[in-house]
Structure 1
Amino acid sequence: MDIIGHLTRTVTPAVLGSDNDPAKKSLLEQFYAVFTARLADKETYGRFANENIARDDQGFYDRVWTDGSHRDQISNELSSGHNVDPTAARGLIAMAAPLAYHEIKSLAGTTPVPQFLNDNLSSYQHHIPAWAAGVVPAGMLMAAPAGERISDTTSMAPLVHEEEKSGSFMKALLPIIGLIILGALAWALLRGCQDNPEPVATPIVTEEQVSEEPVAAVASDIELASLRVATGEGNTLYACNMNVGDEALQNTVMGAMSTTFGAEADKCVADVDDSFAADMPAAAVLADILPIIQSSPNASMIVKGNEIIVNSPDAAALEQLVADLQAAAPNMMVSAEGPLDLQGEIDNSLAAADVAIGRLGENPDPRDVARALSIQVINFELDAAMIPDINKPFLDRAAKLITETPDVQLTITGNTDSLASDAYNLDLSRQRAQAVKEYLVSQGVDASKLVTKGAGESNPIADNSTEQGRFRNRRIGFTVYDESVDGNGAAVTAGNSSDMGTTTTGNTGMDVNMPDPDLNPLDDNNDDVLPDGDDPTQGTVLDPQ
């Protein structure tokens, strides 16, 4: 059983997509060995043995190694050992962990995973690097001969060199000559027996490879469909966003939302794209679970895959919400959202965004570019619009991508939570969007490719009653400009499906970068370059050019 070889054939293509970087492939191969050794520990595996781990659960890696210093050591060692950018390295292993977990479970079959991995230790032990001694169970590393150091490279089998004895050259050469002759005879026989001989480079398919599940079952780039709902006071719908693969699923979800929330369901913003799944496991129980979230004011719910994650500022209400939802949807995994890990969210978002860019390939769809850029979290300091240093390397890469993508024109939208006044938040969101544009332009992006907009607090994607919800609402979103506003001026989406928050465009405060009607008839400024007949509240004179 070649566990590492199996993971390399199945998981690596799913993680890297069209990226054929040998360094990243080597990095993943070594990570599989460290990850496999960790799962061989009964206590570690027992923490999530009964969980339904989603294939895109990029937080799973953090649950396998709960010690942050261990996670840092793994990503840093893999990054430096394979000459891969540290942020990219963390993103790769975060994506690979849940996929590798599913493949290992599949290989184990009915055998408990730790037992299976310990029984097959010899198939991956020699891949475990020496630096992993502190992050894998004791006894996993292959013992080095006395006085020798175990190599830090993927293969740790010690090289054995014996001095040649005098006169032994021809003795050593004879077996080699014999093998060459036998090989030539076998090749001639094989050629003579084949009517349609395979090309010389055709790989041999072993019995083990034939029996494995098809790679396509793992290598899909499709994101899980998702629904996010937040309630306000008095059973009102505060925010609603969905990422779905087709209009049929959109209609199913909207039907359930309309049944529960009535006309308020019109607030729902949908990103319909074939990069998302066209099915949703929770679709069959939406009619049962939506009334439960509606009855809990200032609450939020994220439905993705087989998981439902909820939050509420009231601890007792949150506990009851989890119990009620689990009873209504017994086949779903229902849990309360954990405390906000700000630095972890930022790091994970940058890693995921970096991987998303790496998977775009040549001549990407501008909508996919916008989604990838929107995954990142830009955590501005309080009352400030200065780009954090941690985001600059990613924005540098984003600038190169935007420059190289033809016919792409993006809207950068700033969004805030609701803790300050509407006017203050609107102005701050504009400043932050403009700061992102100026940084990208400083890195070589044509300014005409970028439009900025401040939406303030007008387009929440989560509740503003919890720390986690406010964090998601404070975001910078990228959208394709010609899809930013439809013919009726309604908000549409071209955002991402990550747990950092779906990006939606706003309806307020467009900066003067290109002609467009005034998007906010209630503000006190003229911000378009058309006659203000489109907005009678602003008069009828032209805006200053």
Structure 2
Amino acid sequence: MDIINHLARTVTPAVLGDNRTPQNESLLEQFYAIFAARLADNDTYSRFSGQEIARDDAGFYDRVWTDQSHRSSISRELANTHKVDESSVQGLVAAAAPLAYHEISSLAGSTPVPQFLRDNLSTYRSHIPSWATTVVPAGVLVTDQTTAAPAGERISDTVSTAPLQREEEKGGSFMKALLPIIGLIILGALAWALLKGCQEKPEPVATPVVTEEVVDNDTPVAAVAADAEPASLRIATGEDNMLYACRINAGDQALSDQVMGAMQNVFGDEAAKCRADVDDSFATDMPAAELLSAILPIVKSSPNASMIIKGDEIIVNSPDAASLDQLVSDIQAAAPGMKVTAEGPLDLQNEIDNSLVAADAAIDRLGENPDPRDVARALSLQVINFELDKAFIPDANKPFLDRAAKIIQQVPDMELMIIGHTDSQASDAYNMELSRERAEAVKEYLVSKGVDASKLQTKGMGESDPIADNSTEQGRFRNRRIEFTVYDESMAADDNGIAVTAGNGGDVGMGTTVKDGVNSAVATAGSAVNSAGNAAQNAGNAIVNADPDLNPLDGNNDDLLPDSDDPTQGTALDPKANQ
């Protein structure tokens, strides 16, 4: 858990508002580290641990540092370091303190805050400047430094290894001279004990993490990556118990095929709605895979139900409380070895925060020369919680998108498709346009941060490609999303299953997944022509040309779909288009 990164995303936007400058952001990050080190002291924390701290409690900062000289020192040094007016610094840290306290308390959970901060000192210690050692409890840093760092090695460039300057006691030089000799004696004793232990019991004291195992025939067997994401299955049913949405994440094709086979056995042809993401970043086993034949019929028999299987957990939801209780009970009976729970109420802020933490962690794991698919998957983890009916990037997402922009610029020959999705709360046409605007907003922001516009394409999907049910608050929240995928312009739809629709004239299939490029789109349109006449033929041509306007260069608006691709021709449908 990178505490400073988390606070920079959650607290900084609230404190700075429109006054966000690099200087203000940097000084707050430094303050967060000093503040965290102060809270790591039990005596300091105990002064207000039982109190209800309001988020706008301007006096809370004074109660954390009761010494006026310490507060003055913090303001003065931060102002000098970051070239900011000292009175401005005083206002910023006073506003930031209660907000940072609430965020840290939330991160700590059931762990006492001082203990949590001491355990995670390594995540913020490097941000603590040397001058701050006079305003931070010495024991907090000294304890961690003496146990975590090798002798004689600096902790960081900004943290003093001697927080308080003291005169050496008499005899100190003599003791320093003895330290190397004492160290050698201790090391000798440890080596003798280890050698004796190996002779008496040759088994290792601890088994290291196995990365590769060599069997008798010298064939290497790769171990499963310790940080692989659990394989998962997410499904939802509709009002008529039909399959509404389905997503599979699997580490290899064998597991994907096993899950897909179970889906086909229960849902038949509707299993074609399943989208599978097969990648070695996911585990190659699913504890519930062998139980799907018993689990899936239970979900199918429950209208407007949803289920998420991930690792050894199964989380279910339903808009009806009685049905939800029955669903939990029945699935638990069918899968006694799994942990089955009902999904709790939507905690919007927690979902947003966790998504950004997960997305940051995924970016951290990319390494050098990352696979563009891994970049797209990492970017898709973030929740961009647009305001109702708006397409403005929330401040909470901007630091991550700033980081994403740098990654995109560093990966050569990578083009991304940004896809907007909505829930089903409004009309199809409205949702299609809103999803397109939101995808465009993300593109515009990334371009403003230096990304080449030609590397980014956008697509609005509206409500046509759900990943969850729309009957619950949680499901609608998941369906309102921005997804990134690697873009291949030679295809009418990308490999992740962008839905292609033919509009009002001839329905090629709302939400039809096209995986074989333009040829598949033409074949589908051709089939529609036989049953729907000339209007479907026009729709098929629109798919091939990737442009629903019959002639975007003329002066009329004869579209079968709104001109989302060609706004110069207007956005209203031509009433004569269907005649």
Instruction: Report the TM-score when normalising by structure 1.
Output: 0.61
Q: 2:278 aligns with which of 272, 275, 289?
A: 272
Q: 2:498 aligns with which of 491, 502, 505?
A: 505
Q: CA deviation at 1:220?
A: 1.9
Give a deviation string over 1:485-524, Cα, whole Å, max 9, x none.
96xx67742xxxxxxxxxx6343599xxxx98999989xx
User: Does 2:314 correspond to 1:308?
Assistant: yes
Give a deviation string over 1:259-295, Cα, whole Å, max 9, x none.
1101101100101111111111111000000000000
Residues 479 and 538 from structure 1, CA distance in 2 versus in 1: closer, same or farther, beyond 3 angstroms?
closer
Instruction: State the distance in 2 between where 1:221 and 1:236 align.
Output: 35
Instruction: State the distance in 2 between where 1:367 and 1:245 align.
Output: 14
User: Does 2:243 correspond to 1:240?
Assistant: no
Instruction: State the distance in 1 between where 2:405 and 2:111 align.
Output: 34
Q: CA deviation at 1:234?
A: 1.6
Name the residue aligned to 1:331: 337
Q: 2:404 aligns with which of 380, 395, 398?
A: 398
Note the 1:511-526 alignment, pairs <5 A: none
Instruction: State the distance in 2 between where 1:178 and 1:153 align.
Output: 23
Name the residue aligned to 1:282: 288
RMSD over aligned CA atoms reads 4.8
Q: CA deviation at 1:212?
A: 2.1
Note the 1:130-209 alignment, pairs <5 A: 150-152=139-141, 155=144, 163-164=169-170
Q: Which structure has the larger Rg?
A: 2
Instruction: State the distance in 2 between where 1:231 and 1:71 align.
Output: 45
Q: 2:127 aligns with which of 75, 78, 83?
A: 83
Instruction: State the distance in 1 between where 2:264 and 2:447 align.
Output: 43
User: Does 2:381 correspond to 1:381?
Assistant: no
Instruction: State the distance in 1 between where 2:291 and 2:184 align.
Output: 69
3-state SS of paired residue (1:363): coil
Name the residue aligned to 1:19: none
Name the residue aligned to 2:368: 362
Q: CA deviation at 1:244?
A: 0.7
Name the residue aligned to 1:467: 473
Q: CA deviation at 1:405?
A: 0.6
User: Does 2:444 correspond to 1:438?
Assistant: yes
The one-letter code sitting in structure 2 at the alignment partner of 1:534 is V
Instruction: State the distance in 2 between where 1:541 and 1:357 align.
Output: 43
Q: Is the 8 A contact 1:533 1:540 kept in 2?
A: no
Q: 2:209 aligns with which of 212, 215, 223?
A: 215
Q: Could you tell me which runs of 5 or more consecutive residues in structure 2 were left unpaired when the two chains were aligned.
A: 1-32, 41-104, 129-134, 147-162, 193-200, 212-223, 504-516, 529-534, 555-565, 567-579
Residues 209 and 443 from structure 1, CA distance in 2 versus in 1: closer, same or farther, beyond 3 angstroms?
farther
Q: CA deviation at 1:356?
A: 0.8
3-state SS of paired residue (1:222): coil
Instruction: State the distance in 2 between where 1:311 and 1:172 align.
Output: 67
Residues 208 and 224 from structure 1, CA distance in 2 versus in 1: closer, same or farther, beyond 3 angstroms?
farther
Instruction: State the distance in 2 between where 1:399 and 1:297 align.
Output: 42
The one-letter code sitting in structure 1 at the alignment partner of 2:208 is P
User: Does 2:341 correspond to 1:341?
Assistant: no
3-state SS of paired residue (1:391): helix
Q: CA deviation at 1:223?
A: 1.2
Q: CA deviation at 1:67?
A: 9.0
RCO higher in 1 or 2 (8 Å CA, sep ≥ 6)?
A: 1
Q: Is the 8 A contact 1:485 1:492 kept in 2?
A: no
Name the residue aligned to 1:534: 544
Name the residue aligned to 2:109: 65
Give a deviation string over 1:321-349, Cα, whole Å, max 9, x none.
00000000000000001110001100111
Instruction: State the distance in 1 between where 2:114 and 2:181 align.
Output: 51
3-state SS of paired residue (1:310): strand
Instruction: State the distance in 1 between where 2:317 and 2:490 align.
Output: 31
Name the residue aligned to 1:262: 268
Instruction: Report the TM-score when normalising by structure 2.
Output: 0.58
Instruction: State the distance in 2 between where 1:505 and 1:458 align.
Output: 10
Instruction: State the distance in 1 between where 2:107 and 2:402 align.
Output: 31
Q: Is the 8 A contact 2:233 2:308 kept in 1?
A: yes
3-state SS of paired residue (2:450): coil
Q: Is the 8 A contact 1:241 1:268 kept in 2?
A: yes
Residues 246 and 540 from structure 1, CA distance in 2 versus in 1: closer, same or farther, beyond 3 angstroms?
same
The one-letter code sitting in structure 2 at the alignment partner of 1:237 is L
Residues 349 and 485 from structure 1, CA distance in 2 versus in 1: closer, same or farther, beyond 3 angstroms?
farther
3-state SS of paired residue (2:461): strand
Percent identity among equivalent residues? Answer: 56
